[in-house]
Chains A and B, each alone.
Chain A
Amino acid sequence: MSASSYPEISFEARMATVEFRIDEDRAHITVDDTICRDCSTRGCITACPANLFVPTAAGGILFNYEQCFECGTCYLVCNREGAITWTYPEGGHGVVFHRS
């Protein structure tokens, strides 16, 4: 057995293991917050593996695109037409897996 032991890591540390080549110029996900205000399910909040969607006190959704796995979960679970606009990031940008 190895002498060193690693405890369960925080979500930030978990995401820090992944390489993201961030496109500073363009967000490949956009969320139309006004549609989300009427949404009762908000599946994106629990389903997104990267935890990119956060509810705001004002009833909207705050999102970030930088640490996106580009998996597509959010737009697939979104039941509000047009709330999430999702494309792939510009070529060469976005997530880069190494040990997957």
Chain B
Amino acid sequence: MSDFDVVVVGAGPAGSAAAIELARAGRSVCLLERGPSPGSKNMYGGVVYGRILDTLVPAWWEQVPVQRWVTRRSTMLIHDEQALTVDFRNPGWGAAPFNGATTFRPDFDAWLAGVAVDAGAVLVCSTTATGLIREGGRVVGVRTDRPDGDLRAPVVIACDGVNSFLAKEAGMYPHTGAENFTVGVKETIALPREVIDERFAVRGDEGVDIEILGCTGDVPGGGFVYTNATSVAVGLVLSLPALAAGPDRPEELLRRLKAHPAVAPLVEGGEVLEYSAHVIPEAGYRMMPELVGDGILVAGDAAAMCLAAGIWLEGVNFAIGSGAAAGRAATRALARGDASAAGLAAYREMLESGFVLADHRRLRDAPHLVMGDLAQRGLPAVACGVMEDLFTVRNPEPKQGVRRIVRNRMRRNGIRVRDAVREGLRAVRTFG
């Protein structure tokens, strides 16, 4: 006999979104969370894009626990001591319906899970799902680590995060090689509000998000700095195989970023409030597991729905989008009494026709491009070098032409025009 219509494993953004949809459709849903409260196991690289919440929680911006609204977005290329920043400000993002927000994940995830509970979902914390219950190849529930902990339900939605042991156990996750993953490490550093406002040139609840390329030494990856209300977060995203090859450890690479002349003035002088780390499913579309099985759906990070595409770094919105779709698909399947893979197939169709898989498919080559040698080393070196040559006035020497400067800098960095053009075309194909 079933205990619930649906068991959702993981009360992160994906799981809570699924639970909200199901509970509002009148289904009994159990939302399992292994942490003592939702979000206590989660960390991220900076920004929640909330527009996906429009349909789930109207006027969500009035209740979501926000640190600052991002009104200034910078992309920084670092080479040695130099840095080139493209800085975009849009005060319009600081008013409804807003765009990106910085928040602490324990706050945000607990809020969204609270919405699910208000809708009627049953949240059970401090409970780890240890495995699937299967009958005749079909998933009919999960085992938990509580005494008498079996939970049976016709549909299980696995939102159990990047390590998704449930999707792996169901045989849906073939791409588990380290090359598909990065690890994010982050320091949250306390600074007074006025100091943050001054350093980042913002006011009130305006915030800043800075994405950084070229700051990770020999390890492919990237960095980020963003502002909370009274703290800044500075962190790195690092490719696992290169990190494993050594010799530099994550905190050493982070120390170097914090000491960089372009970053140190932003983050120095504060007390470290918390250090955190989490693995990221970097490869996106190329590593996605099967999304639908008999009696099981996979959503969020568990389905590798994290977009790490250089200029776009998003995850929470994809988690909410995929979770909500999983919830709707499960509702439909339950109404028809068919929780088989065929009955649940609407999930994939919803994702295909929406932004979740459209964005991921379009940008499927982006992670590879961004982690490639040209983007990691060549681009920052050439860009900073070109800037140096352009703006260093070497009188009485006359100025050089831009084309010549670029050519010289490319040659000095060992980049052939042919390779640059090829990568450029790939970038155009991917991002265009």
**Chains A and B directly touch (beta carbon < 8 Å):** yes
Counting chain A CB atoms within 10 Å of each CB, which of B41, B146, B271 scores highest?
Answer: B41
CA distance A17 to B190 in the complex (A): 12
In the complex, the chain B residue whose C-beta lies closest to that of A68 is B277
In the complex, the chain A residue whose C-beta lies closest to that of B127 is A91
Asked if B52 lies at the interface with its beta carbon under 8 angstroms from chain A, I say no
CA distance A50 to B249 in the complex (A): 10
Interface string of B19-58 (1 = CB under 8 A from A): 0000000000000001110011111100000000000000
**B271–A6 touching, CB < 8 Å:** yes
A96 to chain B, nearest CB (A): 5
**A47–B244 touching, CB < 8 Å:** yes
Known: A88-B165, A100-B43. A69 touches B277 (CB 8 A): yes
**A94–B127 touching, CB < 8 Å:** no
CA distance A13 to B251 in the complex (A): 12
**A2–B191 touching, CB < 8 Å:** yes
B113 to chain A, nearest CB (A): 15
Cβ–Cβ < 8 Å partners of A49 in chain B: 183, 185, 250-251, 277
**B231–A95 touching, CB < 8 Å:** no
Instruction: Indicate the size class of the contact surface on chain B.
Output: 35 or more
CA distance A21 to B251 in the complex (A): 23
- CB within 8 A of B43: which of A41, A51, A97? A97
**A71–B279 touching, CB < 8 Å:** yes
Asked if B162 lies at the interface with its beta carbon under 8 angstroms from chain A, I say yes
B15 to chain A, nearest CB (A): 15
Asked if B201 lies at the interface with its beta carbon under 8 angstroms from chain A, I say no
Stretch of A29-37, A56-64, A72-80 that contacts chain B: A72-80
Known: A43-B245, A46-B244. A99 touches B270 (CB 8 A): no
CA distance A14 to B146 in the complex (A): 32
A29 to chain B, nearest CB (A): 13
**B36–A21 touching, CB < 8 Å:** yes
CA distance A11 to B273 in the complex (A): 14
**A46–B248 touching, CB < 8 Å:** yes
Cβ–Cβ < 8 Å partners of A96 in chain B: 35-36, 40-41
Cβ–Cβ < 8 Å partners of B413 in chain A: none
Asked if A54 lies at the interface with its beta carbon under 8 angstroms from chain B, I say no
**B176–A76 touching, CB < 8 Å:** yes
CA distance A47 to B185 in the complex (A): 11
A88 to chain B, nearest CB (A): 5
In the complex, the chain A residue whose C-beta lies closest to that of B39 is A97
CA distance A96 to B276 in the complex (A): 10
CA distance A51 to B245 in the complex (A): 15
Cβ–Cβ < 8 Å partners of A47 in chain B: 183, 240, 243-244, 250
Asked if A8 lies at the interface with its beta carbon under 8 angstroms from chain B, I say yes
Counting chain B CB atoms within 10 Å of each CB, which of A45, A89, A92 scores highest?
Answer: A92
Instruction: Indicate the size class of the contact surface on chain A.
Output: 35 or more
Asked if A84 lies at the interface with its beta carbon under 8 angstroms from chain B, I say no
Interface string of A1-33 (1 = CB under 8 A from B): 110111011010111011001000000000000
**B35–A8 touching, CB < 8 Å:** no
CA distance A90 to B27 in the complex (A): 28
**B191–A46 touching, CB < 8 Å:** no
**B146–A95 touching, CB < 8 Å:** no
Cβ–Cβ < 8 Å partners of B144 in chain A: 91
CA distance A69 to B42 in the complex (A): 10
**B126–A76 touching, CB < 8 Å:** no
Cβ–Cβ < 8 Å partners of B178 in chain A: 43, 76-77
**A89–B42 touching, CB < 8 Å:** no
CA distance A1 to B198 in the complex (A): 9
CA distance A88 to B195 in the complex (A): 39
A12 to chain B, nearest CB (A): 11
CA distance A90 to B41 in the complex (A): 13
Cβ–Cβ < 8 Å partners of A87 in chain B: 130, 165
Please, could you name 10 A-B residue pairs with CB atoms under 8 Å apart, sorted by A? A2-B191, A13-B272, A49-B277, A71-B277, A91-B125, A92-B34, A95-B40, A99-B274, A100-B43, A100-B186
Give 10 nearest A-B pairs by CB, closest first. A43-B244, A92-B126, A100-B43, A49-B277, A77-B244, A46-B246, A91-B127, A100-B276, A91-B128, A91-B126
Known: A69-B278, A91-B126. 8 other contacts (CB 8 A): A5-B269, A17-B274, A21-B36, A43-B245, A73-B243, A91-B145, A95-B40, A98-B104
